[in-house]
């Protein structure tokens, strides 16, 4: 029930938030990572794993992007997690945590570098972004929007539909095809790391237009090599803390 209410509130508020100007960017990158692989190669801490459950896929970020050039830190005026609603924080604790970084600092970075640029189209004053304007309202809207997109993407069902296989081996083109088929795109970014001599999928990125429809990612950046790719589920019993 709380999830349904959260999504309804987000949908309603976004309809009310009419951009004050044309969005100062061209598209979004939606990045998610695989803590089952990352935590084998990094020092993940219990305090920064939040309420991730078995088979969880974690949010990395939702980034406004330019076709050329860059956009970041758009009138950043701080991050205060106490200003986030309990519903948004609960959802984030299950889907957007620091894993091997302090969670609050990680979220602060994502809001400061990327979220403020999403919010720029809704600023009351285009030349400054004051806390007594709609700063914290938009901070809530940004995180709630990303949680909505992540939930609707159904990533856990895409990669771990039966919730029984903790480790799966694919060929690179098959992993790519799985994501391409889910989002009806061809341009997808995959990041891999070598762990104990094997190639693990650590991060994937897909792109959306300004209406939040999935599109091919331009300017593809990827590190996965042809061959076998391991998709490792996050399991609370496998993480060494």
Domain locations in the chain? 2-232
Q: Which letter does DSSP use for residue 227 in this model? A: S
Q: What whole-number distance in Å separates Cα of residue 50 and Cα of residue 63? A: 22
Q: State the Cα angle at 32 between 215 and 2, rounded to 5°.
A: 95
Closest C-alpha among 134, 127, 153 to residue 16: 134
CATH of 2-232, one of 3.40.640.10, 3.90.420.10, 3.20.20.140, 3.90.730.10: 3.90.730.10
> Which pLDDT value is given to residue 77?
85
192: CB partners within 8 A, 6+ apart: 199, 200, 201, 202, 223, 224, 225, 229
Q: Which residues sit opposite 208 in a β-bridge?
A: 28, 214
Average pLDDT, the chain: 88
Residues counted in the chain: 241
Percent of the chain with pLDDT over 90: 71
Q: What whole-number distance in Å separates Cα of residue 93 and Cα of residue 210? A: 26
Residue 239, phi then psi, degrees to nearest 5: -80, 125
> Which pLDDT value is given to residue 16?
45
Q: Residue 4 — very low, low, confident or very high, per pLDDT cuts 50/70/90?
A: very low
In contact, 139 and 83? CB cutoff 8 Å: yes
Q: What whole-number distance in Å separates Cα of residue 191 and Cα of residue 193? A: 7
Q: Does 59 score more than 90 pLDDT?
A: yes
* Higher-pLDDT residue of 189, 77: 189
Q: Residue 24 — very low, low, confident or very high, per pLDDT cuts 50/70/90?
A: confident
């Amino acid at each position: 029930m709380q999830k349904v209410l959260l999504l309804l509130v987000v949908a309603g508020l976004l309809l009310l938030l009419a951009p004050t100007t044309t969005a100062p960017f061209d598209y979004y990158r939606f990045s998610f990572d695989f803590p089952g692989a990352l935590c084998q190669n990094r020092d993940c801490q219990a305090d920064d794993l939040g309420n991730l459950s078995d088979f969880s896929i974690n949010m990395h970020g939702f980034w406004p992007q330019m076709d050329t050039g860059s956009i970041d830190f758009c009138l950043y005026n701080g991050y205060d997690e106490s200003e986030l609603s309990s519903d948004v924080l609960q959802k984030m604790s299950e889907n957007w945590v620091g894993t091997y970084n302090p969670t609050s600092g990680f979220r602060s970075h994502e809001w400061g570098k990327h979220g403020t640029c999403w919010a720029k189209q809704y600023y009351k004053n285009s030349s400054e972004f004051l806390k007594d304007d709609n700063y914290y309202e938009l901070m809530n809207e940004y995180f709630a929007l990303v949680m909505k997109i992540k939930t609707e993407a159904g990533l856990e069902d895409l990669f771990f539909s039966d919730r029984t296989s903790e480790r799966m081996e694919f060929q690179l083109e098959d992993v790519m095809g799985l994501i391409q088929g889910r989002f009806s795109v061809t341009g997808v970014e995959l990041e891999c790391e070598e762990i104990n001599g094997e190639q693990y999928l650590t991060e994937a990125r897909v792109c959306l237009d300004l209406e939040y429809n999935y599109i091919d990612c331009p300017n593809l950046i990827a590190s996965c090599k042809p061959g076998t790719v391991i998709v490792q589920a996050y399991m609370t019993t496998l993480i060494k803390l």
